Amino acid sequence: MSAIESVLVENRVFPPSEATIKAARISGMPAYEALCKEAERDFEGFWARLARENLQWTRPFTKTLDESNAPFYKWFEDGELNASANCLDRHIGTPVENKTAIVFESDDGQVSRVTYKELLARVGQFANALKAQGIRKGDRVIIYMPMGVEGVVAMQACARIGATHSVVFGGFSAKSIHERVIDAGAVAVVTANYQLRGGKEMGLKAIVDEALAMGGCDSVKTVFVYMRTPTACNMVAGRDKTFDEVLKGQPTECKPEPVGAEHPLFILYTSGSTGKPKGVQHSTGGYLLWSKLTMDWTFDLKPQDLFWCTADIGWITGHSYVAYGPLAAGATQLIFEGIPTYPHSGRFWQMIEKHKVSIFYTAPTAIRSLIKAAETDAKVHPKNWDLTSLRILGTVGEPINPEAWMWYYRNVGGERCPIVDTFWQTETGGHVITPLPGATPLVPGSCTLPLPGIMAAIVDEAGHDIPNGSGGMLVIKRPWPSMIRTIWGDPERFRKSYFPEEMGGRIYLAGDGAVRDAKTGYFRITGRIDDVLNVSGHRLGTMEIESALVSKTDLVAEAAVVGRPDDLTGEAVCAFVVLKRPRPTGEEAKKIANELRNWVAKEIGPIAKPKDIRFGENLPKTRSGKIMRRLLRSIAKGEKITQDVTTLENPAILDQLSETN
Ligand code: WT7
């Protein structure tokens, strides 16, 4: 694409076709605007109506929103419901009961199916197994599972008995599990012996064993082990039990436990500005309403759709758009165990053709890497497969560059499918700013407009509105049902992180910079404004990586981590390190850099490995001793230094820190 074309790209507008508008649930901009007006006119009435229409309540709520203890907002508080009943039981006795709920494709291409009725039975049976091990309403259960039906069953079974789950992504380290077990006070861990990815068998249970051996995990009484492969794994007598063992003799029927709407459905840990991940606590009622509602709004779900969200259940996307939303909406969804590049980089396109996927939702990073693969090997280009089943495409997790958007639109969507660029966060529970496929004219690289009832705005540090066309901080001025309720065990951190005093303490601060188009008011996200990085759509804290590096006490004296733009992964991790020994160069520097990368992988997970590691005799600091991060960001990007560096004690280190290893 020429430079001129790529500049023009941002001004291109792709309105939905007349046919798409006509067939859509939210049909055209006037329908979207009417919903926005309804929310403005009668905010509580709007949400109450949707909560009654979209969820089944065992006890109806009488009060919609309680703001008396803001920012600890409460929604539908005196109502009672069960999340699993709202995903499964609600379909029994309807035509959905015999519909396929999940099409599962394994790493090696084997396909299996479960209907809603069968899924309900499996969830009921596992719920009974949890109860038989003494797990009760309010208990916390860690889930460390591969992608598959069993992971969803485990989540749904917890929800069924009112236990709060906390899923840990299968790529996270033993130390991460250990931290989460302790922070959540978990009573059980659900895991598998191995996971299969890219033809390789990778241990999960061994990592759980290592985590639980780190001490302080006495709260964990049971480890449930799903035998994904025939390979044996270590089993601790009295503590560890295979799925077969615990399911044996358990009835498939299990009455769902009604819980209050505010009951914590799950805790999901995510990175923040400090070294310690935050346990984002979500509710049952408001959260579930959102995942169901956005299936209808954002994905315009129809009964005949085949929905495929490629996210892992270890991330919020896999919670809202794999484990809960599609089931609550009665969709048939595809779950994939493997990776997009195995056995070849056309796997996604091949699977879309094979299963006739109609709604496809993935991350810009995946698209960018598949573009690269298709450009180097024509055999894996999407044109080799019949993708005409597709009708809606989506992206999530990071900004999508207009070039990648155009490629996706043309080569995957055949210039026929709207792309919903969904902006949201672990904390928002579901989409908050996104196009609607049958209404919003699309602009590549823009997440366009807030959903009805989401009072998104761009403000300055004091919370004052910034006019369209200028950049500022993204906020949401009114609460919404699926918002984070607190940080597990740390309400003060919740308040401080998201509801700054300077803005009045009631407005949600997203942590992203954004700008609205002067004419259309469309939002464009410009990236995080805090010490959080987004690498391949994965969220990482710079402080977390710094703590991991300095915990290598025999080697590292000091470390500073910043992000720099990367064509493939969006952002890349760049670490500046001072060693406890003379500054290494050449081969030695490469060797130590690799050692440190592996160390970070072991401490946090492979996704946190720094791409660049640079060594200096010290780090650039201000007179008061603060690390000059802005300067480091410039160095990481290879920019010319324009900052004032006259205060630096040792200006020579700037050259040292520019050398990559
Ligand atoms: C951060 C949240 C949302 C689920 C997966 C990530 C970035 C997310 C977009 C988008 C631009 C985006 C933001 C946000 N982000 N979606 N469509 N356009 N940026 O959830 O791990 O909590 O990360 O991801 O920076 O704050 P998360």
At 467, is the secondary structure helix, strand, or coil?
coil
Cα separation, 41 vs 376, whole angstroms: 54
For residue 513, the tally of other CB atoms under 10 A from its CB is: 17
Task: Give pTM, 2 decimals.
Answer: 0.95
**Residue 472 C-alpha to ligand 1 middle, in angstroms?**
17
**Residue 428 C-alpha to ligand 1 middle, in angstroms?**
10
Whole-number average pLDDT of the chain:
96
**150 closest CA partner among 337, 283, 302:** 337
Which pLDDT tens digit goes with each residue over 169-185? Answer: 999 999 999 999 999 99
Q: What atom of ligand 1 comes closest to residue 426's alpha carbon?
A: 22
Please check if 43 is assigned to a binding site.
no
Please check if 296 is assigned to a binding site.
no
Cα separation, 522 vs 446, whole angstroms: 7
For residue 376, the tally of other CB atoms under 10 A from its CB is: 9
For range 275-283, the mean pLDDT:
95
At 244, is the secondary structure helix, strand, or coil?
helix
Cα separation, 28 vs 588, whole angstroms: 62
**143 closest CA partner among 202, 104, 184:** 184
> What are phi and psi for residue 45, nearest 5 degrees?
-60, -40
Q: What atom of ligand 1 comes closest to residue 510's alpha carbon?
A: 26
The partner residues of 195 in beta bridges, in order of sequence, read 202
Q: Is the CB of 523 under 6 A from ligand 1?
A: no
pLDDT band, residue 436 (cuts 50/70/90): very high
pLDDT band, residue 3 (cuts 50/70/90): very low
Is the pLDDT reported for residue 274 higher than 90?
no
pLDDT band, residue 6 (cuts 50/70/90): very low
Which pLDDT tens digit goes with each residue over 598-623? Answer: 999 999 999 999 999 999 999 998 87
Angle at 175 between CA 170 and CA 177, to 5 degrees: 50
Is the pLDDT reported for residue 7 higher than 80?
no
pLDDT band, residue 524 (cuts 50/70/90): very high
Which pLDDT tens digit goes with each residue over 20-63? Answer: 999 999 999 999 999 999 999 999 999 999 999 999 999 999 99
Amino acid 650: pLDDT: 79
Q: What atom of ligand 1 comes closest to residue 532's alpha carbon?
A: 25
Is the pLDDT reported for residue 213 higher than 60?
yes
CA-proximal residue: ligand 1, atom 24 (nearest): 397
Buried residues in 430-450 as b, exposed as e (16+ CB within 10 A): bbbbbbbbbbbebbbbbbbbb
Is the pLDDT reported for residue 280 higher than 60?
yes
> Which of 167, 424, 544 to mutate for ligand 1's pocket (most ligand atoms within 8 Å of CB)?
424
CA-proximal residue: ligand 1, atom 1 (nearest): 425
For range 476-499, the mean pLDDT:
98
pLDDT band, residue 640 (cuts 50/70/90): confident
Q: What atom of ligand 1 comes closest to residue 421's alpha carbon?
A: 17
Cα separation, 153 vs 85, whole angstroms: 13
Cis amide bond preceding 343, omega within 30: yes
Is the pLDDT reported for residue 8 higher than 80?
no
Which pLDDT tens digit goes with each residue over 196-212? Answer: 999 999 999 999 999 99
pLDDT band, residue 661 (cuts 50/70/90): confident
Following CA atoms 78, 81, 83, 85 in sequence, which dihedral angle do they give, to the nearest 10 degrees?
180
Q: Is the CB of 316 under 6 A from ligand 1?
A: yes
Cα separation, 407 vs 8, whole angstroms: 15
Which pLDDT tens digit goes with each residue over 101-129? Answer: 999 999 999 999 999 999 999 999 999 99
Tell how strand 74-75 and strand 111-115 pair up: unpaired
User: In which residue are the tokens 């004296």 written?
Assistant: 557
- Name the region of 359 (left: φ>0; alpha: ψ -120 to 50; beta: rest): beta
Which pLDDT tens digit goes with each residue over 532-541? Answer: 999 998 999 9
Cis amide bond preceding 71, omega within 30: yes
**Interface ipTM:** 0.99
pLDDT band, residue 1 (cuts 50/70/90): very low
Cα separation, 15 vs 11, whole angstroms: 12
Q: What DSSP assignment string belongs to 368-436?
A: HHHHHHHHH-GGGSGGGS--TT--EEEEESS---HHHHHHIIIIITTTTS-EEEEB--GGGSS-SB---
**Residue 527 C-alpha to ligand 1 middle, in angstroms?**
9
Please check if 141 is assigned to a binding site.
no
Which pLDDT tens digit goes with each residue over 541-566? Answer: 999 999 999 999 999 999 999 999 99
Q: Is the CB of 102 under 6 A from ligand 1?
A: no
Is the pLDDT reported for residue 5 higher than 70?
no
**390 closest CA partner among 362, 346, 358:** 358
Is the pLDDT reported for residue 518 higher than 90?
yes
Is the pLDDT reported for residue 10 higher than 90?
no
